[in-house]
Amino acid sequence: MELLDLCPLETWKALENDIREHTGIIAAAFNTKGIRLIPPEAWPNRLCPEIKANPKGQSFICSTAHMNMANLAKSSREPVIDACDAGMLKLVVPIFAGEIFAGCVSACGMLLDDDEVDCFLVNKITGFEEAYIEELATSIPTLSLEKAQTVSRFIQGQVETIVGH
């Protein structure tokens, strides 16, 4: 069972737009293989697209965090809020069709209050100069853990409405 078996692509696109309009956070639907259904129209900051465009950044920061957190969300059947190896917030809300895991909705690219980007690690993985990383990191929005939890509950409610739970 995949997300597109549950609803057409337009439904998932509408969900992404709804999340952005109601929370200000950019989220995306992912299938069970960790592949984003809809290419991003916008980024939450200037650092994320640079990391994703770098093969090592995509593989060792973005994909690893997504798959690990999606597996945690799948096994717990609950949203997961944590950070990627770069230090940025990632939240993952699992999507189930009955007992079958069909994918997830994920949002990332922000910092929890008082957190910071691990510029050293991003440098070691991507080869970007730390000064460049630090400059891009100034564009990263922050939010509280409480706001992240509120957003995950909102996403969870929207997903439940779509899949009929």
How many separate domains does the chain show? Answer: 1
Lowest mean pLDDT among 41-45, 49-53, 132-136: 41-45
Q: Quote the pLDDT of residue 150.
A: 95
Contact predicate 3/34, CB 8 Å:
no
Q: What's 33's domain CATH number?
A: 3.30.450
Half-sphere exposure of 90 (CA within 13 A, CB side): 26
Please, what is the average pLDDT of the chain?
94
How confident is the model over 78-103, as pLDDT tens digits?
Answer: 999 999 999 999 999 999 999 999 99
Contact predicate 15/28, CB 8 Å:
no
Contacts of 114 (CB under 8 A, 6+ apart): none
Hey, which residues does 29 pair with through a beta bridge?
105
Question: What is the number of other CB atoms lying within 10 angstroms of the CB of residue 121?
Answer: 16
Structural domain of 38: 3-163
Residue linked to tokens 């070691």? 124
How confident is the model over 50-63, as pLDDT tens digits?
Answer: 999 999 999 999 99
Helical residues (DSSP H) of the chain, grouped into ranges: 3-6, 9-23, 47-53, 55-57, 64-76, 119-126, 130-137, 145-163
Residue 162 in tokens: 């779509």
Strand, helix or coil for residue 91: strand
